[in-house]
Amino acid sequence: MDPAPLAELAARLQERCLRLGITVATAESCTGGLIAKAITDLPGSSDYFRGGVVSYSNEIKMALLDVPAELLEAHGAVSAQVARAMAAGALLRCGTDTAVAVTGVAGPGGGSAAKPVGLTYVAVADRTGSDVRRFVWSGDRAANREASARAALEMLLERVDTHEAAARP
């Protein structure tokens, strides 16, 4: 089965967030704005999507998302710890109910033995805490970025579904 396109995932996210009154923010490194772009391709997205940060450099991760310098030094920008910190930073700075963060090596450059091209961490945060997942994509730069954006939207959808389940009588 082919993976759902970004537009379809974004439409599902919008329908649920509008129904449940949940707001969303993004913090993007390797996807570089692709998630926010997919979300805002849809009219009406401004009713739940507040915005976010494209933190392509470590300086912006620190300045706009409050990622501690020590975390970047100890674990590197592409790490579960930094993904969680980016999501928590976006949640706080953007004042939303939930936030998603992506950090990875999209390629073709930037890979190493320890952190190969395709390695990507996606984190979702809300007021109850955060989840993070590790992926290793095997496509080219465009395919890796698309896969990361898809994973981010899917993790947001899962998180929103837990809100929905909790709200059920």
**Is 89 near a copy of itself (CB under 8 A)?**
no
Binding mask 7-46 for a copy of itself (x = CB under 8 A): -------------------x-x--xxxxxxx-xxx-xxxx
CB distance 152 to 31 below 8 Å: yes
| Measured distance CA(137)–CA(44) in Å, rounded | 32
| Residue 32 or 76 having the CB closest to a copy of itself | 32
Alpha carbon distance 78, 30 (integer Å): 9
Nearer Cβ to a copy of itself (35/124) = 35
Looking at residue 25, the DSSP 8-state letter turns out to be E
Question: Coil, strand, or helix at residue 28?
Answer: strand
The smaller minimum CB distance to a copy of itself, of residues 41 and 161, is found at: 41
Residues in region 66-85 near a copy of itself by CB under 8 A: none
The answer to whether 138 touches 118, Cβ cutoff 8 Å, is yes
Q: SS3 of 85, please? A: helix
Residues that bind a copy of itself (CB under 8 A): 26, 28, 31-37, 39-41, 43-46, 49-57, 59-60, 63-64, 93-95, 106-110, 141-142, 145
